[in-house]
Structure 1
């Protein structure tokens, strides 16, 4: 209903009624004078109305009490004038030294607020340079007061600065300058709104990630010639009865009694920038993901106009078998990976040379090298097709020494345990050869070096049970011969042995991205209980990891050897102080930074300027494979 129209009609109606009343009074004036009635003409109306109703019945009366409001404004002006005179008088006293300046400032200050500044300006500028908010808003349009791009931006900044659960993000925003920068109240970032943003992001994860990474590649001019592929697992808490993503499964360095999901990540060696990623079920084996990643990576590189033969993919020992090696040749990608020598044709390669022959072929520079290598050829056969690739058997001196030291300690522990059994022979339950042998077999099974120990239990002619043991030197020599040796394989015959070893060791850059995700960004443990929300939150964490890695790459190009986490810690004391005075004015100032902080800020500004200045043409759209069977899209 239009209230304004209704009020206008009512006023017109009242005026018409009064006009009729006036006409009636004029027409009956003669009759009224003749009868000399003492009652007023309108006495029959019995008007018992309030002020609001009288205002409508008598429209010529003023609608607003202007005298009251004028008096109020006059009093406010007079109070302001008197306060200004007092302030001027106090300022003169303070100027002549008759009154402390601090007392004067305190009298003038109504309230003072402190907001965290820290590294927020540089992180905010980096995310705006990558167009994160604009890209998300383009894919996830909304009519809400706070758009999804702004909510996602706040979540990414929170992961970078001070990771918190969703229900605590609003409190964190209220303590930072984001409220003033974004122009949104902190209460707007409640956990319900954050979850609605995750639901809105879920259908567009692939498109958002592709576009943001494309912007990063163009602006930073990142090299795609070397890529590391690896998987990690993130543990979860709670029950996931209907989840196809979060299940029990095996993963290194994670508890087996926890549900988990896996993340496959292609890390670009130029700055360790995250490139392609995909979520996998917690029970998925590492080798089962390689061929899918290979196809996805090939399409992505072709979409960026990068020749496949110029890219080398580096993986660990769980990423290669005969089928995968043949597929690499079919796709046209170069690879370098470790190989688990489980096939009978590959096992002899590790034992083909002794230590003296290895030490004649160092693969690292220096007077006292600790790594040696011998070249070989590795043959793979799958479904009637045979390929031969270049191999390198590496002998790592530090790993060899560590394994041998651990084996010696295990042998000493086993001998101590056997000595305890020997000391208690003759006690109840250890009076026969069979009972002693059973106890000894248990000790050998529990020990990792039990197969290297020869144990004899026998009974003497005097009916006494004896226990003796010794180390099997032959078995020990065979075990030590394999210590520190592993096999590297590549289909790039142009790589030298030194280059193969160096590139394989650089794959730690991808593993460090996982460490950053779990420690600095605190992706794990996960408490969300819907696969779509887990996928959306993973996208935000990957965007945070992208900003983290890109900023670290840029500042190192400026000669600043600090990680992004160290940068954030160096700048965490920067604070914005907001002072509100009694006259309504506001003063904002930043706490004086240390000289070291000023140098860091200058270098970061120069690093971000490089990204802003390097703008290349936008590429065309890129197509990727269809969604996975789990219903989760490819994230590339």
Structure 2
């Protein structure tokens, strides 16, 4: 005889058919079968559901998607593709291939994997970019990218003139940026302007010339100058100059581009390599204010530095991240202009320069003493030649040296010129700054001047992360186009950084976020007759960052978080 036994586990009651048996002289219960979970009616099991067999799933492909999708969304907000296409083709929202799409995909590559630039077409096909851009993977070829470069910048075969859309495109991209990220109320634009050398291969491009600052001595170079916003480090515009150009010769190009931007005159900050009376006048005549370093080339500047000694005390200290700066405002005109003239002292650099000079003078004296012991056996010309090798040209002003013929042979006599040494020490670690606004304090001038290092970070991005150098293109128009692509990449990365810093805090850097998103893949699955797309590898912390910057829905709902 059997009956139903009820066993409760948690919130469920399970039913079993059992019977009694005798075993070893004792009664025991033996389970005959499991009946299921009890329904609303006691001892009546729920009806059994038919077991469903899962659909057969076939993975079709897996593509890198997370990082490229985020950068694409940023580019869409900046209207990069349509801006390029409108100037090049006169159309927007083009279906299929277009120069704007090719150049944007190239810029994304410069951010994520610049080492693959020589295999750009293969890299694009390994990502979700073809689907995002509405193009076929086979559309991405080397010739298509080169044609896109020629579309934005080309050279006339008849006249040899460069025809470039790049300046006007940059103007519109900047205006779009300021629509999305306006300047603080009643604060005009403050920009930093600087120049850096870019090593290149080949000599066919007329921009490529030998330059003294090329780190790779076997390469020639061109010069790249960038105009960057103080408020958000946005790369407003760029210029490409021949490799032999000095900084000071680039200022007229800067003022022309500022007029094209149609922005209200603000403040320009640049290094001392750009500063002369003519360049200051060029800026101030256009209504812009200037904060700049002044080189020690003129006697007026050297005399001013020599007689001014900023006090080393708490009242003249200007805090910086890595230096001890003491600044003093000097009530005197410079180049006949009444602005703010500031002398600042870098205490650490003064000590280093003084130590280096004293050590070199000591070493030269020792070598001259050794030469003095043997000079009587040498000819006068030989002794003079050896003295020239011992005493570098920059240190000859610190010595009074005479080489004379005598009865006992050539004699060498020298002494240290302490007057020149003390005069040089008065210049050690001291520098001159000029500001057009006479109301600025010494602290204000120094602070704004040293905060121009954000343009150095732009150059570091170009050279380190995007690997703009060395440039391997030969045509001038294509060299200009490639550098424009790199500045597009800078604009995308700057926009991402601004998004991450919107709330005044930065939990993760742009590079770290893109690295984490690089693990997110788009997986295409075939389920019998249906095709589904899933995104895998997205971490919850990364998803939280995307939500904070307003990019929550870029992957849709088919997401597998880890």
> TM (normalized to structure 1)?
0.68
Tell me which residue corresponds to 1:151: 102
Q: For 1:111-150, what aligned pairs fall within 5 Å after superposition?
A: 111=59, 113-141=61-89, 145-150=96-101
- For the residues of structure 1 that align with 2:380 and 2:371, how far apart are their CA atoms? 13
Tell me which residue corresponds to 2:517: 571
Tell me which residue corresponds to 2:129: 178
Shift of 1:456: 7.4
- For the residues of structure 2 that align with 1:290 and 1:480, how far apart are their CA atoms? 33
Tell me which residue corresponds to 1:364: 318
- For the residues of structure 1 that align with 2:76 and 2:113, how far apart are their CA atoms? 19
Describe the shift of the 1:144–1:537 C-alpha distance in structure 2 as closer, same or farther (beyond 3 A).
farther
Tell me which residue corresponds to 2:473: 528
Describe the shift of the 1:295–1:389 C-alpha distance in structure 2 as closer, same or farther (beyond 3 A).
farther
Tell me which residue corresponds to 1:508: 453
Q: For 1:305-320, what aligned pairs fall within 5 Å after superposition?
A: 306=264, 308=265, 311-320=266-275
Shift of 1:334: 0.7
Shift of 1:116: 1.5
Describe the shift of the 1:378–1:337 C-alpha distance in structure 2 as closer, same or farther (beyond 3 A).
farther
- For the residues of structure 1 that align with 2:217 and 2:537, how far apart are their CA atoms? 50
Q: Secondary structure at the match of 2:329?
A: strand
Give yes or no for the alignment of 1:376 onto 2:337. Answer: no
Describe the shift of the 1:469–1:440 C-alpha distance in structure 2 as closer, same or farther (beyond 3 A).
farther
Tell me which residue corresponds to 1:229: 193
Say which of 341, 354, 358 aligns to 1:391: 341
Q: Secondary structure at the match of 1:388?
A: coil
Contact 1:452 1:475 survives alignment (8 Å): yes
Describe the shift of the 1:92–1:402 C-alpha distance in structure 2 as closer, same or farther (beyond 3 A).
farther
Tell me which residue corresponds to 1:244: 206
Q: For 1:392-431, what aligned pairs fall within 5 Å after superposition?
A: 392-411=342-361, 413-414=363-364, 417-418=367-368, 421=371, 425=374, 431=377
Q: Secondary structure at the match of 1:577?
A: strand
Contact 1:227 1:314 survives alignment (8 Å): yes
Tell me which residue corresponds to 1:590: 535
Q: Secondary structure at the match of 1:507?
A: helix
Shift of 1:532: 1.4
Query: Alpha-carbon deviations, 1:439-459, whole Å to 9, x = none?
Result: 641333447545435667799
Give yes or no for the alignment of 1:493 onto 2:452. Answer: no
Give yes or no for the alignment of 1:331 onto 2:292. Answer: no
- Structure 1 unaligned segments of length 5 or more: list them: 1-90, 96-103, 610-636
- For the residues of structure 2 that align with 1:606 and 1:577, how far apart are their CA atoms? 20
Tell me which residue corresponds to 2:175: 214
- For the residues of structure 2 that align with 1:562 and 1:484, how far apart are their CA atoms? 37
Shift of 1:473: 3.7
Shift of 1:392: 0.5
- For the residues of structure 2 that align with 1:607 and 1:214, how far apart are their CA atoms? 27
Describe the shift of the 1:447–1:414 C-alpha distance in structure 2 as closer, same or farther (beyond 3 A).
farther
What CA RMSD, in Å, does the superposition of the two structures yield over aligned residues?
3.5
- Structure 2 unaligned segments of length 5 or more: list them: 1-49, 154-163, 555-562
Q: Secondary structure at the match of 1:375?
A: strand
Give yes or no for the alignment of 1:353 onto 2:308. Answer: yes
Shift of 1:546: 1.3
Describe the shift of the 1:144–1:605 C-alpha distance in structure 2 as closer, same or farther (beyond 3 A).
closer
- For the residues of structure 2 that align with 1:144 and 1:244, how far apart are their CA atoms? 37
Shift of 1:255: 4.9
Describe the shift of the 1:418–1:148 C-alpha distance in structure 2 as closer, same or farther (beyond 3 A).
same
Contact 1:389 1:491 survives alignment (8 Å): yes
- For the residues of structure 2 that align with 1:575 and 1:608, how far apart are their CA atoms? 15
Shift of 1:470: 6.3
- For the residues of structure 2 that align with 1:544 and 1:599, how far apart are their CA atoms? 25
Q: For 1:247-266, what aligned pairs fall within 5 Å after superposition?
A: 247-250=209-212, 252=213, 254-255=215-216, 258-266=219-227
Tell me which residue corresponds to 2:380: 434
Query: Alpha-carbon deviations, 1:404-461, whole Å to 9, x = none?
Result: 23334434554564566568x48xxx83373773364133344754543566779999
Shift of 1:293: 1.4
Contact 1:233 1:254 survives alignment (8 Å): no
With 402-411 and 191-200 compared, the bigger mean Cα shift is at 402-411
Tell me which residue corresponds to 1:60: none
Contact 1:376 1:393 survives alignment (8 Å): yes
Say which of 145, 152, 172 aligns to 1:194: 145
Contact 1:231 1:264 survives alignment (8 Å): yes
- For the residues of structure 1 that align with 2:354 and 2:539, how far apart are their CA atoms? 51
- For the residues of structure 2 that align with 1:480 and 1:493, how far apart are their CA atoms? 29
Greater helix share, 1 or 2?
A: 1
- For the residues of structure 1 that align with 2:308 and 2:85, how far apart are their CA atoms? 61
- For the residues of structure 1 that align with 2:447 and 2:345, how far apart are their CA atoms? 14
- For the residues of structure 1 that align with 2:536 and 2:96, how far apart are their CA atoms? 33
Contact 2:368 2:390 survives alignment (8 Å): no
Contact 1:433 1:458 survives alignment (8 Å): no
- For the residues of structure 2 that align with 1:360 and 1:216, how far apart are their CA atoms? 41
Contact 2:524 2:532 survives alignment (8 Å): yes
- For the residues of structure 2 that align with 1:131 and 1:369, how far apart are their CA atoms? 41
Q: How many residues align?
A: 487
Contact 1:234 1:524 survives alignment (8 Å): yes
Describe the shift of the 1:466–1:277 C-alpha distance in structure 2 as closer, same or farther (beyond 3 A).
same
Tell me which residue corresponds to 1:601: 546
Q: Secondary structure at the match of 2:550?
A: helix
> TM (normalized to structure 2)?
0.77
- For the residues of structure 1 that align with 2:96 and 2:315, how far apart are their CA atoms? 68
Contact 1:336 1:504 survives alignment (8 Å): yes
Whichever of the two has the greater Rg, that structure is: 1
Describe the shift of the 1:183–1:298 C-alpha distance in structure 2 as closer, same or farther (beyond 3 A).
closer
Query: Alpha-carbon deviations, 1:151-198, whole Å to 9, x = none?
Result: 122111111111146541111112112133234232321110000111
Tell me which residue corresponds to 1:58: none
Greater strand share, 1 or 2?
A: 2
